[in-house]
Chains A and B, each alone.
Chain A
Amino acid sequence: MAGVELTTVRKTYPNGAEAIFGVDMKINDGELVVFVGPSGCGKSTLLRMVAGLESITSGTIEIDGKVVNDVSPSERDVAMVFQNYALYPHMSVRGNMSYGLKNRNIPKAEIDQIVEKTAKTLRIYDYLDRQPNQLSGGQRQRVAMGRAIVRNPKVFLFDEPLSNLDAKLRVQMRIEIKRLQRSMNVTSIYVTHDQTEAMTLADRLAVINEGRVEQMGAPMELYSNPASLFVASFIGAPQINLIPVRFEAGKLGNGSLSLSGFSDLPTDTDLVLGVRPDALELGKSDQLKMNVELIEQHGGENLLYGALAGVVDKDGNSTEICLKSGQETLPAINEVLELGFDVSQAFVFRKDTGERLQ
């Protein structure tokens, strides 16, 4: 069991491009931390630095209390599941799973025992003698997991392991990964760009943007208390409603929109009001008016999309907003709905810096 600690970790490529700008992070023993962010934000780079596959420009990475900056990847005692699984194509499933153990000079009988036990847990025992190209996507995924598990590493690293699976399998494997991680209680870092995966898997989430950790915390904490505009817009599906406003005469306003209940906001800059689709309530008050354009019926709930009435930008485009409501809410298209929300559940951000003000 081991924690991972990153101290002002930076990564600059030889051509001068900076990928990681000083990351500080402490991952506790047995914790599952998810790095989430858009593609190119540096989350995979950070994971690969922990694995030792990328060099560290400055700062330190500690695993189990030991600085591993100069420790070779194989001696860091980490195991990694790759996005494309990287199963060795010329080895059977058994060969794939036992290769790392063989290189560590573990006796063959013991290897067989570990591999077979793991294969049974992952329900791939019957496929031990097959080649990777004879397996389905889900089975390959399990083999990739098995190859990591047999090593019994201090830290598990997952690099978008589910993005090559179809939607249904992805949900299944997500649950399975969570269950396995719980039962093995191994410190894990999981990289994904999928916020649903991130929300559902993580003990704690680190939202990464342009090489910096924007915010780190429990998924619900990030959802209900985002530190920045980026975190608010990245976490949550459907996406948070973002309404451009300015603070004037004690009210947030734009066009015919005028919202009270906000105070102590700067008047000299553009602001963004963020309201979650599930924080909006139908008929509660008439703070916002939405002209219904599209209804998505998801079964248990309906998502209503439409233009926010009275607010247009300088190009004449309206602001789209979304309301999450029950399955019985089925207004006609072009009907105007009056929506209200609790001011305490809304966020106000500076538009230029993304900083959260309220």
Chain B
Amino acid sequence: MIRSVINHTILLAGLAFLLVPIALIFFSSTHDTSTLTRQGLQLFPGSSAVQNYHDILFLEAGFADGITTLSMLKNSFIVGFGVAFLTTLFSLLSAFGIVYFRHQWSGFLFWLIFATLLFPLESRFITTFKVTTDLGLINTHMGIILPTLAAALGTFFFRQFFLTLPEEYAEAAILDGAGPWKFFKDFILPLSWARAGAVFVVSFMIGWNQYLWPVMISTDESMYTLIRGIQFVGQETGSGMAFVIISILPPFLMILGFQRWFFNDLSGGQ
């Protein structure tokens, strides 16, 4: 009895720790800026919600008013989905290659890929910037997306999964006349579907939440993402709070949608 009270208290404390900041932002987004400046962040609903969200949806900013919430939303979606889709695809392909094409170097290649975890994008900005500009990708969506793709985590995740599959699947498939491409399409994809969903969501968030790299590689106002847009709306303004809420909503909905796959697979269940 006491034990369960303690357990629940700890859980509730953890929940509060995670939720209170979001609640603060959400309720503050319903107050006007003067209340926020005078009294700080708010924990109860106010009356300026409509005004704040209206302001933010029709925000026009930048040198020529070319930055709108809608255009930033669009950019964020392109980058988010681009990163998510390509990361998942490349992770699958590289893990497939490492596990099933047992080249004598494949172990070495895997650890080489894995070592990239030691070098986050921030630590190799200068070289990455050089390569990206040489490729002519400055001020493009691809320029924002590509450098983020070198994420070994997905490869590692799928490799570990493929290693749990009995080798006989591949052998039986070979005897059944399936070549590598067929095996990928008929076995690897359907068997990894749920896990791929988890990797997709995580990399979507990585892409969506990028800040520093997009600042580096895009100067054009039409390339602004939502996270960058926060600078235009002020930190303790009602509409700023509304803007933050809008920016966390899509990843949140995404997790909600993928939740069953996501939790099944990151916790190792089936």
Contacts and interface: CB of A to CB of B under 8 A. Distances in A.
B241 to A, nearest CB: 46
Interface stretch (B116-124, B172-180, B195-203): B172-180
Interface residues of B, number: 16
B168 A84 contact: yes
Nearest to B190: A90
Given A100-B177, A103-B182, A80 B172 contact: yes
Given A74-B177, A103-B177, A86 B182 contact: no
B169 interface: yes
B168 A82 contact: yes
Contacts of B186: 99
User: Is the interface on chain A under 10, 10 to 19, 20 to 34, or 35 or more residues?
Assistant: 20 to 34
Contacts of A100: 175-177
A82 B191 contact: no
B44 interface: no
Given A99-B186, A103-B182, A51 B175 contact: yes
A86 B176 contact: no
Contacts of A51: 171, 175
Contacts of A104: 177
A93 to B, nearest CB: 14
Contacts of A78: 175
A79 interface: yes
Given A89-B191, A90-B190, A103-B182, A53 B169 contact: no
A152 to B, nearest CB: 13
Contact of A84 (B166, B176, B182, B191): B166
A100 B172 CA distance: 9
Contacts of A103: 176-178, 182
B187 interface: yes
A349 B33 CA distance: 101
B171 A86 contact: yes
A197 to B, nearest CB: 20
B177 A53 contact: no
B104 to A, nearest CB: 8
Contacts of B172: 80, 82, 86, 88, 147
Interface in A88-113: 88-90, 99-100, 103-104
B176 to A, nearest CB: 4
A73 B173 CA distance: 10
Interface in B155-176: 166, 168-169, 171-176
Given A90-B191, A103-B182, A73 B168 contact: no
Nearest to B169: A86
B122 to A, nearest CB: 40
Contacts, number: 55
Contacts of A80: 171-172, 175
A68 to B, nearest CB: 13
A99 B191 contact: no
Contacts of B174: 52-53, 72-74
Contacts of B190: 90
Interface in A19-51: 51
Nearest to B171: A53
Contacts of A52: 174
Interface in B181-238: 182, 186-187, 190-191
A325 B166 CA distance: 46
Interface string A127-152: 00000000000000000000100010
A80 B170 CA distance: 12
A314 to B, nearest CB: 47
Nearest to B165: A89
A84 B186 CA distance: 20
A91 to B, nearest CB: 8
A73 B175 contact: yes
Contacts of A151: 176
Contacts of A72: 174
A53 B173 CA distance: 11
A80 to B, nearest CB: 6
A154 to B, nearest CB: 13
Contacts of B176: 74, 99-100, 103, 147, 151
A86 B168 contact: yes
Nearest to A48: B171
Interface of B: 166, 168-169, 171-178, 182, 186-187, 190-191
20 contacts: A51-B175, A53-B171, A53-B175, A72-B174, A73-B171, A80-B171, A80-B172, A80-B175, A82-B168, A83-B168, A88-B169, A88-B173, A99-B186, A100-B175, A103-B176, A103-B177, A103-B178, A104-B177, A147-B172, A147-B176
Given A74-B176, A84-B166, A104-B177, 19 more contacts: A51-B175, A53-B174, A73-B171, A74-B178, A79-B175, A80-B171, A80-B175, A82-B168, A82-B171, A83-B168, A84-B168, A86-B169, A86-B171, A99-B178, A100-B176, A100-B177, A103-B176, A103-B177, A103-B182
A-B CB proximity, top 4 nearest: A86-B168, A100-B176, A103-B177, A74-B177
